[in-house]
């Protein structure tokens, strides 16, 4: 989740974000649970360490579109504009 938080810091937050629920569940192939399970089973089947498998997976995935966030710019903007904090700043001016 630290990586997910870093992505949010760079691109903004969406309140009550359904993507986080999806990421924490076990039905999505890219969830923490399923990726961990895949890394561990691949490591066991290939006699490699989980670290080696995870690094290989991270290297491969670094070249493809982010499966977690994709293009969420409009969601981030809407969440920001509709947030209590933003509205308080506007009303304070």
Region class of 12: left (phi > 0), else alpha (psi between -120 and 50), else beta: left
- Residues in the chain with pLDDT < 70? 1-13, 66-74, 93
Structure confidence at residue 8 (pLDDT): 61
Taking the C-alpha atoms of residue 72 and residue 38, their distance in angstroms, rounded to an integer, is: 27
Structure confidence at residue 23 (pLDDT): 82
Helices (H), 12-67: 18-24, 32-46, 50-61
Structure confidence at residue 24 (pLDDT): 85
Structure confidence at residue 43 (pLDDT): 98
Global pTM?
0.58
CB atoms within 10 A of CB 50: 14
- Neighbouring residues of 85: CB distance < 8 A, sequence distance ≥ 6: none
């Amino acid at each position: 989740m630290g990586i997910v938080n870093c992505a949010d810091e760079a691109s903004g937050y969406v309140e009550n974000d359904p993507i986080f629920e999806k990421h924490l569940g076990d039905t999505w192939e890219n969830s923490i649970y399923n990726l961990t399970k895949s890394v561990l089973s691949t490591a066991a089947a290939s006699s490699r360490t989980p670290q080696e498998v995870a690094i290989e997976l991270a290297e491969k995935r670094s070249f493809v579109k982010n499966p977690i966030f994709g293009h969420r710019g409009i969601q981030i903007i809407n969440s920001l504009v509709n947030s209590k904090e933003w509205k308080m700043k506007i009303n304070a001016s």
